[in-house]
Amino acid sequence: MTETSVRNVLSQISKRPAAIIGLILLALQLLAIIFAPILATYSPVEADPINSLQPPSSDHWLGTDVSGMDVYSRIIFATRINLLISISAVAVAFVIGVPLGLLIGFYRGPVSSLAMRIFDFVQSFPVFVLGMALVSVMGQEIWNVAIVLAVLFIPMFARLIRAETLSLRERPFISAARCSGATDLSIMFRHVLPNALTPAIVQISISIGMAILLTAGLSFVGAGVRMPTPEWGLMVSAGAQQMILGIWWVSLFPGMAIVVSVLCFALLGDAAKDIMDPHTRNRR
């Protein structure tokens, strides 16, 4: 990236309050991840049955849950788990999905249409149901949740790249590259890929948000990570029984953490779309 384009992106960001809010929220989460041991006031996994279900106070800022664990400290530490799962799942899906989409877009034939049918098929299952089944079959480990989410997201990236590749491969500059003796491999990765990446890059941020929601949902029903791992969805479920009794803090705060985190990635995704897609930029 040249200096002018960096400056261009920065000026685009500064014009968008939504993007700035998104970046601030992202920075806050990164701080929570890096400085979790310093920011937390209690251990995130140690039970303290004497102090169970304490309302928010100066001792326990956001109260304690049913086994006496500090809600605030667990929320801080959970940022690590939730973002680790979601970001690594999306990263794996991107790294596998992008070349796959490039291949099936570039070489049309029975194999590539079969691949598309398989993607259609995987995507026709309700995501949450399929995720739940896969995690329960593979075993409820943090990494299995990430792997399952990656598998569910691969078709999304492959599809986006394929759609771009299909139109790019007919363009004159590809024929020009071919005439000058470029191999298929170098055409794909040097000429097609850089021009096809934009929608997939925009999708990264949105997918991370979706992954956070899915992880939390899986843990909430007991098909994701297990206690006492600090994870937002699991924390909401730990307070679900008490909500009926009016004990609101156990579920409320981790739920807010989910909303803030997903909102952050949604805002960043919107901003990325606006900045990288010249059509929407000029229309404003």
Nearer to other proteins, 176 or 221 (CB): 221
Nearest distance from residue 219's CB to other proteins, in Å?
10
Cβ–Cβ under 8 Å, residues 105 and 161 = yes
Identity of the amino acid at 102: L
Question: In which residue are the tokens 């000029």 written?
Answer: 282
Nearest distance from residue 101's CB to other proteins, in Å?
21
Q: Which of residues 150-189 bind other proteins (CB under 8 A)?
A: none
Instruction: Tell me if 198 contacts other proteins by CB under 8 A.
Output: no
The encoded tokens of residue 173 equal 């500059």
Instruction: Tell me if 216 contacts other proteins by CB under 8 A.
Output: yes
Nearest distance from residue 252's CB to other proteins, in Å?
7
Instruction: Tell me if 258 contacts other proteins by CB under 8 A.
Output: yes
Q: Name the segment binding other proteins (CB under 8 A); options: 87-95, 98-106, 145-153, 262-270.
A: 262-270
Q: Which of residues 230-249 bind other proteins (CB under 8 A)?
A: 233, 236-237, 239-240, 243-246, 248
User: In this chain, which of 96, 128, 163, 201 binds other proteins, going by CB under 8 A?
Assistant: 128
Cβ–Cβ under 8 Å, residues 29 and 264 = yes
Separation of CA 95 from chain center? 14
Nearest distance from residue 83's CB to other proteins, in Å?
15
Of the candidates 94, 59, 48, the one whose C-alpha atom is nearest the C-alpha of residue 199 is 94
H-type helices in the chain, by residue range?
3-14, 17-34, 36-39, 71-106, 110-124, 127-138, 142-168, 172-179, 184-186, 193-196, 198-220, 232-238, 240-243, 249-276, 278-283
Instruction: Tell me if 130 contacts other proteins by CB under 8 A.
Output: yes
User: In this chain, which of 151, 213, 227, 276 binds other proteins, going by CB under 8 A?
Assistant: 213
Q: Which of residues 17-36 bind other proteins (CB under 8 A)?
A: none
DSSP 76-106: HHHHHHHHHHHHHHHHHHHHHHHHHHHHHHH
Residues in the chain: 284
Instruction: Tell me if 126 contacts other proteins by CB under 8 A.
Output: yes
User: In this chain, which of 12, 67, 136, 198 binds other proteins, going by CB under 8 A?
Assistant: 136
Q: What residues are paired with 70 via a beta bridge?
A: 64
Binding site for other proteins (CB under 8 A): 121, 124-130, 132-134, 136-138, 209, 213, 216-217, 220-223, 233, 236-237, 239-240, 243-246, 248, 251-252, 255, 258-259, 262-263, 266-267
